[in-house]
Amino acid sequence: MKNKLEEIARQSKEAIAAAANPEALEGLRVKYLGKKGELSAVLKQLGSLSSEERPVIGQLANEIRAGIEKTLAEKNAALHSALLERRLRDEALDVTIPGRAFAVGARHPLRIVWDECVDIFTGMGFSVAEGPEIELAEYNFTRLNTGEGHPARDRQDTFYFTDDDRVLLRTQTSPVQLHVMESTRPPIRIISPGRVYRKDEVDATHSPMFHQMEGLVVDKGITMGDLKGTLNTLVRRLYGDDAKTRFRPHHFPFTEPSCEVDVQCFECHGEGCRVCKGEGWIEVLGAGMVHPRVLSGCGIDPDEYSGFAFGVGLERLAMRRFNISDLRLLFENDIRFLSQFN
Ligand code: DAH
With a 6 Å cutoff on the Cβ, whether 253 touches ligand 1 is no
With a 6 Å cutoff on the Cβ, whether 137 touches ligand 1 is no
Ligand 1 centre distance from Cα of residue 191 (Å): 12
Q: What is the pLDDT of residue 85?
A: 92
Q: What is the pLDDT of residue 108?
A: 95
- DSSP letter for 104, please: P
With a 6 Å cutoff on the Cβ, whether 252 touches ligand 1 is yes
- DSSP letter for 121, please: H
Q: Whose CA is nearest to atom 8 of ligand 1?
A: 311
**Closest ligand 1 atom to the C-alpha of 286?**
7
Q: Whose CA is nearest to atom 12 of ligand 1?
A: 310
With a 6 Å cutoff on the Cβ, whether 289 touches ligand 1 is no
With a 6 Å cutoff on the Cβ, whether 288 touches ligand 1 is yes
**Strand partners of residue 281:** 264
DSSP 125-180: T-EE----SEEEHHHHTGGGT--TT-HHHHHT---BSSTTS-EEE-SSSTHHHHHH
**Strand partners of residue 285:** 261, 312
**Closest ligand 1 atom to the C-alpha of 285?**
5
Q: What is the pLDDT of residue 61?
A: 85
Q: Output the CA–CA distances (angstroms, integers) from residue 64 to 12, 14, 49, in the order listed.
A: 10, 14, 18
Ligand 1 centre distance from Cα of residue 301 (Å): 22
Q: Whose CA is nearest to atom 14 of ligand 1?
A: 286
Q: Output the CA–CA distances (angstroms, integers) from residue 335 to 35, 183, 240, in the order listed.
A: 79, 42, 28
| Fold classified for 109-341 | BirA Bifunctional Protein; domain 2 (3.30.930)
Q: Output the CA–CA distances (angstroms, integers) from residue 286 to 123, 205, 280, 324, in the order listed.
A: 22, 16, 18, 21
Of residues 65, 36, 48, 66, the one with CA closest to residue 1: 48
With a 6 Å cutoff on the Cβ, whether 175 touches ligand 1 is no
pLDDT string in tens for the chain (342-residue length): 888 888 888 988 888 888 888 888 888 899 888 888 888 888 888 888 888 888 888 888 888 888 888 988 888 998 899 889 999 999 988 889 998 888 888 899 999 999 999 999 999 999 999 999 999 999 999 999 999 888 888 777 888 998 888 999 999 999 999 999 999 999 999 999 999 999 888 988 889 999 999 999 999 999 999 999 999 999 999 988 988 999 999 999 999 999 999 998 877 888 988 777 899 998 889 999 999 999 999 999 999 999 999 999 999 899 888 988 899 999 999 999 999 987
**Closest ligand 1 atom to the C-alpha of 214?**
12
3-state class (DSSP) for residue 247: strand
